[in-house]
A = this chain, B = another copy of it.
Amino acid sequence: MTNFTPGPSQLYFTVPDHLKSALRENVPSLSHRSKEFEKIYKDVVTGLRELLGIPDTFSIFFTSSATEVWERSIENLVENTSYHFVNGAFSKRYAEIATQLKKSVTLIQAPEGEGFEVPSSIPSAIELIAVTHNETSTGVSWPVDAIAELRQKNKSALLVVDAVSSLPYPAFDYTQIDSVFFSVQKAFGLPAGLGVWLVNERCLAKADTLLAKGHSIGTYHNLPTLHAFANKYQTPETPNVLGIYLLSKVAQDFLRRGITTLRRETEYKAAILYRALDSHPSISAFVKEVSHRSKTVIVANTGAHTAQLAKHLASKGLHAGDGYGKAKETQLRFANFPAHSKEQFELLVDVIEKFE
């Protein structure tokens, strides 16, 4: 069965072998204060920098989930005010976390299934702008150029990008953003339980400022502590060592395939699925505006056919993801990650095209 749920999703095909190597190399028993662990952390940093084009001005930290980064980013980067583009369940949850942390939260909302135009101005008092690059619940994405434009129009705020279900696909211009994060159980095809948080020097300085002002910015996972340990390729706590090891290996696998190939294949697979949805008599793509269509999480309006189509796909070995929340009855979601091969997508498209 090929798993098209948008996360946890299909494991990348090399992961079972890497798990075996991990056991052989005693990775689960490694001390997180050992040279061997430092080497693994360093491998992740080197691999991700090369794969994603992350400049040296960014530090790379591990958290337990992207959900944790929602909380830590607000604690460490916002004294009073954050601004959130909300167009689905996950962007909404990020804003709710800021509210729970007693921040003054400004929302700009779009209907589900729609994206955003870059607003002409955002109040200058805003300290953090939260952009959900790929809204996993609705399959709406930001063009990377629009994110750069957003930054050009708002240079004082920190621009934080939730790329949970899109990286490694998007080719961000890292000079135009301040922080990005993702979790490994989506497009990296790994077991869940690890988040990756990139921050630049402006973020580190902001956390230092909040700390100096006497604010509580959390403890073992505040930015100064994460940074001090990351400088030694260590983590403050005993982390998910096995998850970090697997990420180091899959980053190498992705590099061997080449980021250009991965991106081209992602675009090809997205194109054939959207084409099938656009030309289908009874089902359609949920996101109408082509420039806002996610390449990595593709949502189909399947209406009254939902259960029947899901069952039919399953009979062909294709496990579609449910629509999110209330859309469970009327939509299906299809993850398009490196773990999903061109052949699997061609089969998926073929089955959908023949479905009546």
Contact = CB atoms under 8 A, between A and B. Distances in A.
Interface of A: 1, 3, 5, 7-11, 15-16, 19, 23, 26-32, 63-68, 70-71, 96-97, 100-102, 183, 185, 190-194, 216, 218-221, 236-243
Nearest to A102: B216
List the 3 closest pairs (A to B, CB-CB), nearest first.
A193-B240, A64-B64, A67-B237
Q: How many copies of this kind of chain does the complex include?
A: 2
B236 A67 contact: yes
B30 A240 contact: no
A128 B102 CA distance: 24
Given A23-B19, A219-B70, A219-B100, A64 B28 contact: no
A65 B26 contact: no
Contacts of A216: 100-102
Given A71-B218, A97-B220, A220-B71, A65 B29 contact: no
A27 B101 CA distance: 34
A27 to B, nearest CB: 8
Contacts of A66: 237-238
Contacts of A102: 216
14 contacts: A5-B31, A8-B31, A28-B185, A28-B191, A28-B192, A64-B65, A65-B237, A66-B237, A97-B220, A192-B238, A192-B239, A192-B240, A193-B193, A240-B243
A101 B219 contact: yes
A53 to B, nearest CB: 26
Nearest to A10: B29
A88 to B, nearest CB: 16
Contact of A26 (B3, B7, B67, B220): B3
A218 B220 CA distance: 14
Contacts of A236: 67
A250 to B, nearest CB: 12
B5 A28 contact: no
A238 B8 contact: yes
B16 A29 contact: no
